[in-house]
Structure 1
Amino acid sequence: MKKIMFVGAFVMGLTSLFAQELKLEKEEIAFGNLKLNTEVTSKMKVTNTGDKPLILKSVVGSCGCTVPEYPTTPIEAGKSADIVIKYSTGGVKGDFNKSVTITSNDPVASRKIFRIKGSAE
């Protein structure tokens, strides 16, 4: 029984070894101090460090003030693409800490989250 479990784990490990893998350039975007009713834009570089095409299935902001735009075509092995993030402070004063969730076909970590932080005055 132990042999069967070991072989199964080994085969599963091999399939993910030669697959697509999503790597983020950084874990957060820091906008610093912004004025109220301001819209700012930044980019998050996504790299496919695997050897099969990476597909971004969805990229979603945690609220309507955070709007991501992402590539809908596969990111080839070893290549990178940008996710463009637009953030609007609106009329809300104070610190903000929002998230953007990326869902992909990465077999090991199909969901990655990065943060958007700053302050509106």
Structure 2
Amino acid sequence: MKYFKVPALMLGAALMVFACDSKTENASDLAAKNAELEQRLARLEAAQPVATPTNVVSNTPSDPSSLGQFKFEETDFNFGTIDEGKVIEKIFKFTNEGQAPLVISNITASCGCTSPDWSKTPVKPGEEGFVKVVFNSTAKTGAQAPTVTIQANTTPNVTRLSMRGNVTPKLSASPVAAGPVKRD
């Protein structure tokens, strides 16, 4: 039996007809109606072939000789517990274990408190590069987990690095009164 791609509306209508008629007809009548519906669908498919959309991207395997390959020493850094306002800087070093120069095309941070910097020139096979992540904990308290997303000519083409830790709030110099002050 061949399977066809059928628009949902047509299939729904066919099923409704089939369901409504099934109460009053026997099995041989239902089989005949089912065969007739399949023939109609086949004629519709033949009359209107399915066109491939123009924005479809073919999914062909990449040539390994055209790709770089990250080998990070670590991809997750735990900075522990710090005081609010402290700036943490971590350099994630990597080696290109691919067969082609590794090119980082873009790096984005998960929030405005994190800023990345990286090797801007292609990293040749066997050579080292870096991604520097700076986390500013000003106005950030509690558990924090900033990340950076790297886009490069690797497989997969997206790699994530993360930092995590806890930020303790600053103690304010002047205590804030909670409510009206009672005077004697």
Q: Could you tell me which residue of structure 2 aligns to residue 6 of structure 1?
A: none
* 1:76 correspondence with 2:153: no
Equivalent in 115, 119, 130 of residue 67 of structure 1? 115
Q: SS state of the match for residue 98, structure 2?
A: coil
Structure 2 spans left out of the alignment, 5+ residues: 1-59, 169-184
1:30-41 pair list within 5 angstroms: 30-41=78-89
1:51-80 deviation line (CA, Å, top 9, x unaligned):
210000111110011101111100000111
Equivalent in 94, 98, 107 of residue 146 of structure 2? 98
Choose 1 or 2 for highest CA Rg.
2
Give the structure-1-normalised TM-score: 0.82
Q: SS state of the match for residue 145, structure 2?
A: strand
Aligned AA for 1:21? Q
Give the structure-2-normalised TM-score: 0.55
Q: SS state of the match for residue 58, structure 1?
A: strand
* 1:28 correspondence with 2:80: no
Aligned AA for 2:167? A
1:23-53 deviation line (CA, Å, top 9, x unaligned):
2221201111111111111110122101210
Greater fraction of residues in helix: 2
Aligned AA for 1:32? G
Aligned AA for 1:31? F
Check the 8 A contact 2:65/2:100 in 1, yes or no: no
Question: How many residues of Structure 1 are paired with residues of Structure 2 in the alignment?
Answer: 109
Q: CA RMSD in A?
A: 1.7
Aligned AA for 1:118? G
* 1:47 correspondence with 2:95: yes
* 1:112 correspondence with 2:142: no
Q: SS state of the match for residue 90, structure 1?
A: coil
Say if 1:95 and 1:50 are closer, same or farther in 2 by CA, change over 3 A.
same
Structure 1 spans left out of the alignment, 5+ residues: 1-10
Following TM superposition, by how much is the alpha carbon of 1:20 offset from its aligned partner in structure 2, in angstroms?
Answer: 1.6
Q: Which has the higher contact order (CA 8 A, sep 6+)?
A: 1
